[in-house]
Amino acid sequence: MEYWQAFILGIVQGLTEFLPISSTAHLKVVPAIFGWQDSGISFDAVIQLGSIAAVVGYFWKDLSNITLGSIKAVRSQNYKSQEFKLAVAIALGTIPILLVGLLIKIFVPDYDKSPLRSLTAIAIASIVMSSLLALAEILGQRQTKEKRHFQRVRVIDGILMGLAQAMAIIPGVSRSGSTLTAGLFLGLDRVAATRFSFLLGIPAITIGGVVEFISIVKKGFGDIGVGQLAIGLFSSVIFSYLAIAWLLKFFQTHTTWVFVGYRLVFGALLLTAIGVGWLK
């Protein structure tokens, strides 16, 4: 992998990790379009740590409030505290994707080469998730008066959005897209669903990135050097932060329809390119 390729993949990771369009899909498709070698799960997971650094930095105040508030709630046995509920929601919501990831590690050691990571599977997943996001947006518009803000996030929201997050093991589904969709179905407003989706993703992406980093260190970096990883991480941090800030501001006044359309077109074009033999 060339240094400039690592930089571009870091940009792709940063821009797509928190937008509901699937970073894994784009990290798979971009190299295929330009004829680059597939970067693989390990590289993708490691540069995701750049996205984690960005989201932790952006939500540092929220994370501090949730942590300190939870400690205070436990000491005072005030388990109705919103900070405590958010902490429990994030913890329980992280379990499904960790279990699925562990099972795949144990029973599907060659998952990197699995048909689920094929371009065809990515295209289909993108179209399916586009349809689900559209349905969530329509139902959400019909229930505008009942929409819940971030301070009304419940533990059950974390559990159900966590189950949706586990679907992101399949490239093309999108972790942020699946959790945003679930949040809208559950009656959260767009900003609340997006904000909680970001917080919910911190433990899962961090653990996944650390595990893969340890794995790549043990196995050796192969064609991917430390320099390429560092450059990919750097660009991932910068563009992840920009994407987070932009998306939260965007959803204050806009709907999700632009992402519904993008995912539908993305999947359709990908299937077309595969069908005519442009991509394999």
Q: According to the model, what pLDDT value does residue 108 have?
A: 79
Comparing 278 with 242, the larger pLDDT belongs to 242
pLDDT, one tens digit per residue, over 96-121 is: 999 998 888 788 777 767 777 788 99
Q: Is residue 250 in some structural domain?
A: yes
* 206 band by pLDDT with thresholds 50, 70 and 90: confident
Domains of the chain: total: 1
* 142 band by pLDDT with thresholds 50, 70 and 90: low
Q: Is residue 181 in some structural domain?
A: yes
pLDDT, one tens digit per residue, over 232-250 is: 999 999 999 999 999 999 9
* 46 band by pLDDT with thresholds 50, 70 and 90: confident
The answer to whether 133 and 257 have CB atoms below 8 angstroms apart is no
Mean model confidence pLDDT for the chain: 88
Q: Is residue 230 in some structural domain?
A: yes
Q: How many residues does the chain have?
A: 280
Q: According to the model, what pLDDT value does residue 133 have?
A: 96
Of 30-34, 85-89, 142-146, which has the strongest mean pLDDT? 85-89
* 280 band by pLDDT with thresholds 50, 70 and 90: confident
Residues 6+ apart with CB under 8 A from 123: 172, 266, 267, 268, 270, 271, 274
Domain that holds residue 29: 3-275
Of 52, 18, 38, nearest in space to 180 by CA: 18
Q: Is residue 265 in some structural domain?
A: yes
* Residue 179 in this model has a pLDDT that exceeds 80: yes
